[in-house]
Amino acid sequence: MVNAEIVTKAEIVTIGELFSYIKQEGAKVAWFECTATIDDVVHGSAWYYIAYGGCKTKATKRPTTLMCKKCGKAEVAGVAECLTKLSVYDNNDQAFFVLLSDAGGELTGKPASKWVESYFEANENVGDDHVIPVPQALIGTIGQTHKFNVKVSKHNLEGKTQALTVTKVLPPEAPALEGNLEENMIVHSAEETLQMGNHEDGPSIENEEAADEVGKMSSDGIESGEAKRAKCDCPFVE
C-alpha cells in the first residue's frame, strides 16, 4: 500500500493501489505511474474542449468571441485540447482515465487541434452545431497497453469524481519522474483545467461550485454541445 505521508515521486502502482490511496485518511494530491490496457473510448460525449492556447484553460463563450476568465483576456483564439475518457483495466481492476491536453497527442501522435482541423477540412459543409465524432486514431488505441502518469486530484479525494486525470502517456521505457512532483508536473487535473481558474492561494466559493459541476462532467462526459464547432475566430474552424 502506498503511504500517503511519504509520496514524493511518481510511484509505480496498480489501479487497485490508486483507489486504496484515495481512500486513505490524510491522502494528498499526488501523481503516480500506472500501467493499464485501454478497454474502450467512451462515446456519446465530447472528446475535446475549446481552450485558450495560452493557459489551456477552458475558454468561455461570448456571443461572437471567446474569453479566458483565468487570464482576464476578453478576446482569445480558441484551440481544441484533448479531454477524452477511457475505460482501462489491469490484471485485477478497472477504472476510467481522462486524457487531458498533451496526453492525447502523446497517445495518438497528433494533438486534438490537428484532428479537429482535419475533420473540418474533409467536411466543409457541416454546420456550426455539428458534433465531431471520436477520431479513429483514438478508437484504434483500444487493446493497447501503456504507462500513464495519473494525477489523484482534489476532486478524487473529495469523492466528487472517480475518473482519474492522465497528465502524460509515457514511452515504454520512460523512467518514473523524480523529485518534487508539484514542481515537475504543472499540468492541472481535468476538473481544474475546465473550471474558470483557481488562484494559487485557494479556490473561491464560486470556483468550488463550478468544480463540482466539472467533476461530474469529466466523470460522466462533457455535454455534447462542447464538441460542437465553436463560433469564434478559432484557427481550426476557418
At residue 13 the predicted structure's pLDDT band, cuts being 50, 70 and 90, is very high
Q: What is the 3-state secondary structure (H, E, C) of 43-66?
A: CCCCCEEEEECCCCCECEECCCCE
Q: Where are the domains of the chain?
A: 11-227
Task: Return the percent helix, strand and coil in the chain, to nearest 5.
Answer: 25, 30, 45
Q: For 86-142, how does the pLDDT look when each residue is reduced to its tens digit (9 = 90+)? A: 999 999 999 999 998 889 999 999 888 888 888 888 888 776 567 788 989 999 999
The amino acid present at 93, given as its one-letter code, is D
pTM score of the predicted model: 0.69
* Alpha carbon distance 20, 117 (integer Å): 41
Widest CA span of the chain, in angstroms? 56
Cβ-contact 56, 78 below 8 angstroms? no
Superfamily of domain 11-227: Nucleic acid-binding proteins (2.40.50.140)
Question: Which three cell numbers, joined as nine digits, stand for 170?
Answer: 509515457
Among 59, 66, 68, 102, which Cα is nearest to 84's?
A: 102
Residue 193 DSSP class = H
